[in-house]
């Protein structure tokens, strides 16, 4: 029997993007506290986003926020998927 356990996602980085919610505004060093899918707090660099507010949903890759979720330009087809 295989002893290898398949990881949930790429162990570290590759091309994953983790959805997180901003829970504390960024400090002077650009690090904000965000909660991940499991509710755990994570430190995330948000320098690459225009502006973040508490409650914003962001996409995080390798400890850095790369995108803000739920844009106003959300398309017609996308809306069908919204619960």
Partner 1 sequence: MKFVDEYRDAELGRAVAGEILATVEPGRHYKLMEVCGGHTHSIYRYGVDDLLPENVELVHGPGCPVCVIPMGRLDDAISLSHQPNVIFTCFGDMLRVPGSHGTLLDAKAEGADIRMVYSPLDALRMARENPDRDVIFFAIGFETTAPSTALTLKRAKAEGLTNFFCMCNHVMILPPLRALLESPDLRLDGFIGPGHVCTVVGARPFDFIPVDYNKPIVIAGFEPLDLLQAIQMILQQLKDGRCEVENQYARVVPTDGNLRALEVMSEVFALRPHFEWRGLGFISQSALKLSDAYADFDAELRYEVPGVRVADPKACQCGEVLKGVIKPWECKVFGSACTPEHAIGTCMVSPEGACAAYYNFGRFAREREVV
- In our burial notation (b when 16+ CB lie closer than 10 A, e otherwise), range 33-46 reads bbeeeeeeebebbb
- Convert residues 60-79 into a mask of x (bound to partner 1 by CB under 8 A) and - (unbound): -xxxx-xxxxxx-xxx-xx-
Instruction: Report the residue from 37, 40, 41, 53 that binds partner 1 according to the rule CB under 8 A.
Output: 37
Question: Least separation, in Å, of the C-beta of 6 and partner 1?
Answer: 4
Instruction: Give 45-76 as a 3 state SS string.
Output: ECCCCCCCCCCCEEEEECCEEEEECCCCCCCH
Footprint on this chain of partner 1 (rule: CB under 8 A): 2-4, 6-7, 9-17, 19, 21, 37, 45, 47-50, 57, 59, 61-64, 66-71, 73-75, 77-78, 81-83
């Amino acid at each position: 029997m295989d002893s290898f356990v398949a990881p949930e996602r790429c162990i570290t980085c590759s091309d994953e993007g983790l959805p997180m919610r901003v829970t504390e505004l960024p400090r002077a060093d650009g690090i904000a506290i965000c909660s991940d899918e499991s509710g755990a707090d994570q430190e995330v660099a948000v320098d690459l986003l225009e502006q973040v507010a508490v409650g914003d949903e962001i996409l995080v890759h390798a400890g850095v926020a790369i995108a803000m979720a739920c844009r106003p330009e959300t398309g017609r087809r996308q809306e069908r998927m919204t619960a």
